Structures are given as C-alpha cells and as structure tokens.
Amino acid sequence: MAIGVDGLSSALADLAPGRCGLVTSLLATGLPRRRLLDLGFVPGTRVESVRRSPAGDPTAFALRGATIALRHEEADLITIRVL
C-alpha cells in the first residue's frame, strides 16, 4: 500500500514515489542498523522516495543530496512521518 497522507506515520517502504517523509526511528538492529545510520538515515532526516526499480524493488531514495537504493526489507525498518 502506498501511503501519501500528510502527517501519517508509516514505513519508508510504503512511501509513494514522489512523496517525502521525515525519518522518525529505525527498527533495524545490529549491522544493518549501523549501515543505515552511516548512509544518513538518522531521525529527523528528510527523505524523498524517488523511484522504484523496473521490477518494483528496490526503491531509490533521495536524502542529504545523495540517491540511495534500498530493498523493501530495509526500507520497511525505517519509520517516517509523511510530509
């Protein structure tokens, strides 16, 4: 389900392409969590969902001036507030 209602809390994975959100928390633990942090997915970060791959997954996200593709499982572990 692609969510696009302002102010709603959701998983980054469900953010519709073209919409933006603010990272609120990370549900990942251990190494995956540290990787996401290093890429800049820290709470308060503005993230835009840019596009999905031709096969529907992964999805490219724009944050901090870079474009990073994440698979659904990883993006599912990032909660956001839809902007």
With CB under 8 A as the contact rule, the residue among 12, 47, 68, 80 that binds other proteins is 68
Q: Does 38 bind other proteins (CB under 8 A)?
A: yes
Count residues near other proteins (CB under 8 A): 39
Tell the smallest beta-carbon distance from residue 16 to other proteins (Å).
15
What would the DSSP string read from start to end of 5-62?
A: -TT-EEEGGGBPTT-EEEEEEE---HHHHHHHHHTT--TT-EEEEEEE-TTS-SEEEE
Rounded Cα distance, 11 and 81, in Å: 9
Tell the smallest beta-carbon distance from residue 44 to other proteins (Å).
8
Residues of this chain that interact with other proteins (CB under 8 A) are 26, 28-40, 42-45, 50-58, 60, 63-71, 73-74
